[in-house]
């Protein structure tokens, strides 16, 4: 129970500070088949890990437990999530930046020649097209050394693999009936690399998803659920219940309806 | 006899130290010091590569340790 109670607070923190460069990560050491349905039902927006082994390194003796890390990578604060103040978060955000589209960013860990480091930096900021252009410039340069060319090729390969991993991820999201996120990923790839084969494929895939009636139903239901949530927020339970029931009936078979059904169960269990 | 006892005490103390350092640290990291790297087997609600603190440098990170129970 104490763990569950912290979610509204975390959601609020995420909603307020994500745009300023705060990344919220919720780590559980439990298995994914326990964690996933829970995350689904609670409709959490931030990133969650299952099967984490980080609590030892952080000396966690009780949960929920929060650790705030500043933009320089140092521990800024730790304790109960309920005691975390906005002032402390604002201080940790000093000097923080938010990547434009964070999922495009590729952190390339290999050490490279100084000539290729600009390209690596661009990839780290999610500027994949610019990174590829830089790497190509090295490869086209007669004066570039073999080592520099090897580094440039290595980075190009890594970017290609990264883009492939992103499009694979989009397919997994389609299978999980989350077309909204799938389109977000594909759109990122299509816009970043419009003249590449991967970019053209991503664009085509977006059109296919939008044309799929099942996916369209999921998108519509997800939007309607957001509206429903706003609508029932000020209502008492007995007034909210019939509205949710109506929604579940209307959007039956969609993921949003399953989420709404879960809401209904929690209302019932509370009496 | 006294010497033996003293020796035994030193030996015991050394043993204790060795034992302590062999145990995983259950201490919280120090505020102001680099945060230990995090890990997870499966990441949910995550677009792109698996998050890690090195890649997130430049952003502030709020880690929440939690469980479903």
CB pairs under 8 A between A and B: 213
Q: CA A164, CA A157: separation in Å to the nearest integer? A: 11
Query: What's the pLDDT score for residue A99?
Result: 62
Query: What's the pLDDT score for residue A6?
Result: 75
According to DSSP, residue B30 is labeled P
Collapsed DSSP state (helix, strand, coil) of residue A253 = coil
Quickly list DSSP for A183-235. Answer: HHHHHHHHHHSTTSHHHHHHHHHHHHHHH-HHHHHHHHHHHHHHHHHHHHTTS
Helix (H) or strand (E) holding A27: strand A22-27
Question: Which positions in chain A touch B32 (Cβ < 8 Å)?
Answer: 74-76
SS3 percent helix, strand, coil of chain B, rounded to 5, is 30, 15, 55
Put simply, the answer to whether B60 touches A68 (Cβ < 8 Å) is yes
Residue by residue, pLDDT tens for chain B (69 residues) are 455 555 554 454 454 444 443 444 568 999 999 999 999 999 999 988 899 998 888 899 999 999 988
Q: CA B39, CA B50: separation in Å to the nearest integer? A: 9
Put simply, the answer to whether A59 touches B29 (Cβ < 8 Å) is yes
A 50-109 residues with CB < 8 A to B: 50-61, 63-78, 81, 84, 89, 92-93, 95-99, 102-107, 109
Rounded to the nearest angstrom, the minimum Cα separation between A269 and chain B is 17
The token pair at A154 is: 């290595």
Long-range Cβ contacts of A140-149 (<8 Å, 24+ apart):
A144/A115, A145/A113, A147/A113, A148/A113, A148/A115, A148/A116
Could you tell me the pTM of the whole model? 0.76
Q: CA A37, CA A166: separation in Å to the nearest integer? A: 23
Query: What's the pLDDT score for residue B8?
Result: 52
Query: What's the pLDDT score for residue A259?
Result: 85
Query: What's the pLDDT score for residue B6?
Result: 53
ipTM of the complex as predicted:
0.78
Query: How many residues can be counted in chain B?
Result: 69
Query: What's the pLDDT score for residue A45?
Result: 80
Query: What's the pLDDT score for residue B25?
Result: 53
Q: Considering CB atoms only, which of A30, A38, A93 is closest to B60?
A: A93
Residues in chain A predicted with pLDDT less than 50, given as ranges, are 1-2, 271
Rounded to the nearest angstrom, the minimum Cα separation between B8 and chain A is 33
Q: Considering CB atoms only, which of A52, A74, A77 is closest to B34?
A: A74
């Amino acid at each position: 129970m104490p763990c569950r109670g912290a979610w509204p607070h975390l959601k609020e923190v995420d909603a307020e500070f994500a745009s300023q460069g705060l990344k919220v990560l919720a780590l559980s050491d439990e298995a994914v088949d326990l964690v996933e349905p829970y995350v689904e039902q609670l409709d959490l927006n931030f990133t969650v890990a299952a099967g984490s082994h980080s609590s030892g390194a952080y000396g966690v003796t009780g949960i929920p437990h929060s650790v705030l890390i500043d933009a320089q990578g140092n521990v800024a604060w730790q304790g109960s999530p309920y005691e975390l103040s906005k002032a402390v978060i604002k201080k940790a955000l000093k000097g923080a930046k938010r990547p434009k589209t964070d999922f495009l960013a590729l952190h390339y860990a290999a050490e490279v020649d100084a000539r290729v480091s600009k390209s690596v930096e661009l990839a780290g900021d999610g500027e994949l097209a610019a990174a590829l252009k830089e790497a190509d410039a090295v490869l086209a340069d007669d004066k570039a050394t073999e080592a520099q060319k090897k580094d440039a090729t290595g980075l190009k390969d890594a970017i290609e693999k990264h883009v492939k991993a992103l499009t694979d991820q989009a397919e997994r999201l389609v299978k999980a009936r989350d077309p909204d996120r799938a389109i977000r990923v594909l759109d990122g790839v299509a816009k970043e690399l419009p003249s590449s084969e991967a970019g053209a494929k991503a664009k085509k895939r977006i059109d296919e998803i939008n044309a799929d009636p099942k996916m369209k139903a999921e998108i519509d239901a997800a939007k309607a659920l957001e509206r429903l949530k706003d609508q029932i927020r000020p209502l008492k339970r007995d007034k909210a219940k019939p509205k949710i029931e109506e929604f579940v009936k209307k959007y039956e078979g969609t993921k949003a309806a399953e989420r709404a059904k879960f809401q209904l169960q929690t209302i019932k269990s509370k009496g | 006899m006294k010497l033996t006892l003293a020796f035994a005490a030193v030996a015991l103390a050394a043993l204790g130290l060795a034992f302590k350092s062999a145990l995983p640290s259950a201490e919280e990291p120090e505020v102001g010091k680099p945060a230990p790297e995090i890990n997870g087997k499966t990441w949910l609600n995550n677009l792109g590569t698996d998050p890690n603190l090195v890649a997130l440098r430049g952003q502030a990170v709020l880690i929440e340790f939690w469980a479903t129970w």
